[in-house]
């Protein structure tokens, strides 16, 4: 039950993008089209879950060896390797998606959402199972925010909006309104 | 002791991930047109976008597909880039 709560709270209540301000860069960058948003979400979910599991295990090793101060660099190494793998894999399997994601794919490496997730798992003293579900929730939450936002932006392209709101300014305002909507979930789950 | 431990741990991790990535790169290798690399070498590589493509690589790919003119690279025109590209394409 606790695991399920962690999962739901990571998706809705503590949504990484809209409530924690993490991972804004790809959120704004890859949300022009729904299909690239879906591809990006899948890549992020994959990296988040694997990175969380590996960093959780490695943290145990680090603590055992008394090297807790190496956390950040070790975690970044893990994340960078995984992202590189996703890049190699996507280039082979889906060149179209690879082209569409462009610079944002390698940018997952320095995405604060992923490092933030790995550090939060440690900070909250989660066990392995809780870590996996927190990562899944965070990944799906990121995907949910990204795909919702991409859908809105696709619709906005056809809408008749005043000139000052066109382009990036309007996008940021839309993101703010979406975040406001997610505030409605806060306080729903108390952990 | 803590120094040696840090070095050993990070070294081992680097080795593990490096090997894994090297294998992955071999396994999922994408065969690219050998002309692409040659054209990339011939181009100035400033990614100026004056040719109308996002970067030199996109231009080189378009040339191979026959979509872009061989003399489309503006900064490379005086350095004889179009001639080099023609040579590579006629190989």
Q: Give the position of tokens 């979910």.
A: A45
Pair of tokens at residue A136: 């899944």
At A139, the pLDDT band (50, 70, 90 cuts) reads: very high
Q: Residue A102: how many CB atoms within 10 A of its CB? A: 13
| Chain-chain contact of A66 with B6 (C-beta, under 8 angstroms) | no
The span from the CA of A117 to the CA of A78, in Å, is: 13
What pLDDT was estimated at residue A57? 92
A151 min Cα distance to partner chain B (Å): 26
Q: With beta carbons under 8 A apart, name residues in chain B contacting A62.
A: 9
HSE at residue A134, side-chain half, CA atoms within 13 A, is 25
A70–B10 CB contact, under 8 Å: yes
Q: Within chain B, which residues score under 50 in pLDDT?
A: none
CA B64 → CA A63, A98, A146, B37, B48, distances in Å?
54, 20, 35, 11, 19
The answer to whether B6 contacts A67, with C-beta atoms less than 8 Å apart, is: yes
B23 touches chain A (CB under 8 A): no
* Option in A66, A77, A85 nearest B24 (CB): A85
Search chain B and give the residue with CA nearest A93: B28
| Substitution target from B4, B10, B12, B13 for chain A, most A beta carbons within 10 A | B13
Q: Which chain A residue has the Cα nearest residue B17?
A: A81
Contact A174, A152 (CB under 8 A): yes
A191, A5 in Cβ contact below 8 A?
yes
Contact B21 A73 (CB under 8 A): no
Chain-wide mean pLDDT for chain B?
85
ipTM of this predicted complex? 0.73
Please give the model's pTM, rounded to 2 decimal places: 0.76
Query: Residue A94: which pLDDT band, with cuts at 50, 70 and 90?
Result: confident
Alpha-carbon distance B45 to B60, whole Å? Answer: 11
Kindly indicate the confidence band of residue A165, based on its pLDDT and cuts at 50, 70 and 90. confident
Q: Looking at the predicted structure, is the pLDDT value of residue A8 above 80?
A: yes
Whether A7 contacts A136, CB under 8 Å: yes
Give the model's pLDDT for residue A191.
58
Q: What is the DSSP letter of A159?
A: S
pLDDT (average), residues A150-154: 92
Tell which residue, A157, A100, A124, A106, has the closest CA to residue A52: A124
Q: A120 to each of A14, A85, A110, B57, how far by Cα in Å?
A: 12, 24, 16, 39
Smallest Cα distance from B38 to chain A, Å: 21
Distance from CA of A149 to the nearest CA of B (A): 26
The share of chain A scoring above pLDDT 70, in percent, equals 98
Between B49 and A57, the higher pLDDT residue: A57
pLDDT for residue A132 is more than 90: yes
Q: What is the pLDDT of residue A190?
A: 65
A175-191 per-position pLDDT tens digit: 999 999 888 888 776 65
B10 vs A: CB within 8 A: yes
């Amino acid at each position: 039950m606790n695991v399920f709560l962690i999962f739901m709270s990571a998706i809705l209540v503590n949504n990484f993008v809209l409530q924690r301000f993490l991972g804004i860069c790809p959120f704004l960058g890859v949300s022009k089209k729904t299909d690239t948003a879906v591809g990006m979400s899948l890549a992020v979910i994959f990296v988040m879950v694997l990175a969380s599991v590996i960093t959780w295990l490695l943290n145990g090793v680090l603590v055992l060896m008394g090297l807790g101060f190496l956390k950040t660099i070790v975690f970044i190494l893990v994340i960078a390797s995984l992202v590189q793998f996703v890049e190699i894999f996507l280039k082979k399997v889906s060149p179209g998606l690879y082209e569409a994601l462009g610079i944002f794919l390698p940018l997952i490496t320095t995405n604060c959402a992923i490092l933030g997730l790995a550090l939060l798992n440690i900070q909250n003293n989660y066990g392995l199972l809780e870590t996996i579900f927190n990562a899944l929730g965070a990944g799906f939450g990121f995907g949910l925010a990204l795909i919702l936002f991409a859908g809105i932006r696709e619709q906005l392209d056809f809408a008749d909006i005043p000139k000052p709101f066109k382009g990036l300014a309007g996008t940021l305002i839309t993101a703010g309104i979406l975040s406001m909507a997610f505030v409605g979930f806060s306080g729903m789950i108390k952990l | 002791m803590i120094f040696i431990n840090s070095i050993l741990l990070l070294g081992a991790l680097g080795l593990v991930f490096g090997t894994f990535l090297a294998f992955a790169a071999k396994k999922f290798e994408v065969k690219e047109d050998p002309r692409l690399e040659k054209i990339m070498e011939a181009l100035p590589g400033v990614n100026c976008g004056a040719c109308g493509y996002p970067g030199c690589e996109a231009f080189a790919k378009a040339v191979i597909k026959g979509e872009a003119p061989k003399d489309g690279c503006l900064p490379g025109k005086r350095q004889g880039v179009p001639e080099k590209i023609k040579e590579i394409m006629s190989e």
